[in-house]
Amino acid sequence: MSQSREGWVIKVPLLEVHNLVKYFPLRKGLLGRIVGYVKAVDGVSFSISENETFSLVGESGSGKTTIARCVLGLLKPTSGRIVFMGKDIFKLSKEEIRWYRRNVQAVFQNPFLSLNPRMKVEDIVAEPLKVHYKDMSKEEIRRRVYDLLEKVGLTADLAKRSPYDLSGGQAQRVAIARAVILKPKLIVLDEPTSALDVSVQAQILNLLVDLKNELKLSYLMISHDLSVVRYISDWVAVMYLGKIVELAPAEELFEKPLHPYTQALLSSVPEPDPRAMRAKKRIVLRGEPPSAVNPPAGCRLHPRCPYASEECKKEEPKLVEYERGHWVACHLYTHK
């Protein structure tokens, strides 16, 4: 679904994900017999336009990180297609794969795990240039690295240090610099601020917003933190057990959540305002998410949903456009 609006501007999708399915086999015994599948992602479609932030939110096991890994080409989907600038990313030639990797970069949750402790900061940030532009001069590489370090808010004296000598916020800035040095079109952000203190998180989020505007980047953001998602996103898709249950422009989703799961998630987020917390009407889901090996029949939320009816136990609701640009998969909205 591309967001075509009336008027002249029709945004071209940068990344399209069509009916993505990823099952992980469950093996047992000496011979590794397949006894079942973890249905991590079960038919997900969405698209991201240029200079847009698209967020996937959901709890552990919802499949959001699996989607990110498929988009990065780290996992091969069971079925479905991922199309980047018109090309299916799993049918690329060797040369095109290099092109894809230049244009799609990633920033992960823990910078101390994603940065090599034996390398200096300047070498970490320079490495993508050395790999992708073999004939670039040393001076040019150095100039680009130091310009970028300054842009992401790191002083030149940090360039000679190891990432282990940095604070969490500084290390995440290095990871971001490494991701943008090739001037990519899309960056996958997998929980980029979850490991940081709030005051540092605010700085990193602001940096990501600035870089997006300046370099015309698109982000695929993976997060469980709805407050962070509201701050940074243009579009939000809410996932539950491998499916998108609701998809809408960020403001619309937070102001008018339709799906009971989205409503429950939003009503559970604690906010630093005790009066608002007491006034909040909480929608409580019973129990815990079931296993993705045998997801419930019908609507996957029905055993926990306060509004579940007979229909929800039998028939799986389709993701339909309830209002312009606002998609929801719930029987409460299928008979309007």
Partner 1 sequence: MQAKPLVVRDLTIHYYTLHGVVKAVRGVSFAVGRGESLCLVGESGSGKSTIGLAVLGALPSNARVVSGKILINGVNILELSEKELEEIRGKEISMIFQDPVASFNPLFTIGQVLSDIIKYKLGVRDKNEAKKLALKALSEVGLPDPERIYNSYPHELSGGMLQRAAIAVALATRPSILVADEPTTMLDVTLQAQILDLLQGLRRKLGLALLFITHNLGVVAAICDKVLVIYAGSVVEYGPVDEVLLSPLHPYTKRLIECVPRSSVKTSRLKYIPGSLPDLRKDYPGCIFAPRCSEALEKCSRIAPKFVEAKPGHFVACHKAVKAG
Least distance between partner 1 and beta carbon 236 (Å): 11
Query: How far from the centroid of its chain's Cα atoms is residue 305's Cα?
Result: 25
Least distance between partner 1 and beta carbon 200 (Å): 8
Least distance between partner 1 and beta carbon 144 (Å): 27
Sheet of strand 326-328: strand arrangement:
104-107, 186-190, 218-223, 53-57, 235-240, 243-249, 326-328, 320-323
Please, which residues have CB within 8 angstroms of residue 213's CB and are 6 or more apart in sequence? 51
Please say which residue, 200 or 332, places its beta carbon nearer to partner 1.
Answer: 200
Please say which residue, 91 or 275, places its beta carbon nearer to partner 1.
Answer: 275
Q: Compute the C-alpha angle 161/129/223, nearest 5°.
A: 75
Q: 290 exposed, middle or buried (CB, 10 Å; 0-12, 13-18, 19+)?
A: middle
C-alpha 124/C-alpha 189 separation (Å) is: 18
Least distance between partner 1 and beta carbon 328 (Å): 18
**DSSP string across 115-169:** S-TTS-HHHHHHHHHHHH-TT--HHHHHHHHHHHHHHTT--GGGTTS-GGGS-HH
Least distance between partner 1 and beta carbon 73 (Å): 28
Least distance between partner 1 and beta carbon 226 (Å): 4
Please say which residue, 205 or 332, places its beta carbon nearer to partner 1.
Answer: 205
Please say which residue, 105 or 262, places its beta carbon nearer to partner 1.
Answer: 262
Please say which residue, 139 or 288, places its beta carbon nearer to partner 1.
Answer: 288
Residue 17 · residue 67 · CB < 8 Å: yes
Least distance between partner 1 and beta carbon 206 (Å): 6
Nearest partner of 97 among 68, 131, 145, judged by Cα: 131
Q: Supply the DSSP symbol for 280.
A: P
Please say which residue, 142 or 224, places its beta carbon nearer to partner 1.
Answer: 224
Please, which residues have CB within 8 angstroms of residue 173's CB and are 6 or more apart in sequence? 152, 153, 154, 204, 207
C-alpha 87/C-alpha 110 separation (Å) is: 31
Least distance between partner 1 and beta carbon 256 (Å): 13
End-to-end CA, the chain: 22
3-state secondary structure of 305: coil
Please say which residue, 7 or 272, places its beta carbon nearer to partner 1.
Answer: 272
Please say which residue, 16 or 52, places its beta carbon nearer to partner 1.
Answer: 52
Please say which residue, 32 or 287, places its beta carbon nearer to partner 1.
Answer: 287
C-alpha 151/C-alpha 274 separation (Å) is: 38
Residue 38 · residue 44 · CB < 8 Å: no
Q: Kindly list the residues in this chain that would bind partner 1 in the complex (CB under 8 A).
A: 59-60, 167-169, 197-203, 205-206, 224, 226-231, 251, 254, 264-266, 268-277, 282, 284-285, 287-288
Least distance between partner 1 and beta carbon 143 (Å): 28
